[in-house]
Amino acid sequence: MKNHFWKKAAVLSLLAVILLGGTAISPKQAKASSEPYMGEITMYPYTFAPKGWLKCEGQLLPIAQYSALYSLLGNNFGGDGVRTFALPDLRGASPMPNVDYYISTEGLYPSRP
């Protein structure tokens, strides 16, 4: 039970850092878009990854193929930082059964204010 609480807390902290860049966003800065931000993490109840999304399972990706996503994540979640980097591993962190976390590999590149 204790480990489950800390895992959820770590996931929520990770999402805040990834989505907010470690800073608070004021309502004036928030903008809705029909296109996701690259690196955005969300949950889907699918057994497959939709186009432009990958499951957050800690897998290694080639930097050459995902250079823009690498520029956002770096090798914070693994990889050698030269040829590969890893996605966050959020397996088992979902608050609902049969729902998984996915990260956008395409979309709007987030800008800093």
pLDDT tens per residue across span 60-79: 999 999 999 999 999 999 99
> Cβ contacts of residue 45 below 8 Å, gap of 6+?
96, 98, 99
Q: Computed from CA positions of residues 93, 96, 100, 102, in that sequence, does the dihedral angle turn out positive or negative?
A: negative
**Full-model pTM:** 0.70
- Partners of residue 53 on adjacent β-strands: 104
- Number of other CB atoms surrounding residue 90 within 10 Å: 23
> Given pLDDT bands bounded at 50, 70 and 90, which one contains residue 13?
low
> Given pLDDT bands bounded at 50, 70 and 90, which one contains residue 12?
low
* pLDDT at 113 exceeding the cut of 80: no
* pLDDT at 85 exceeding the cut of 90: yes
* pLDDT at 38 exceeding the cut of 90: yes
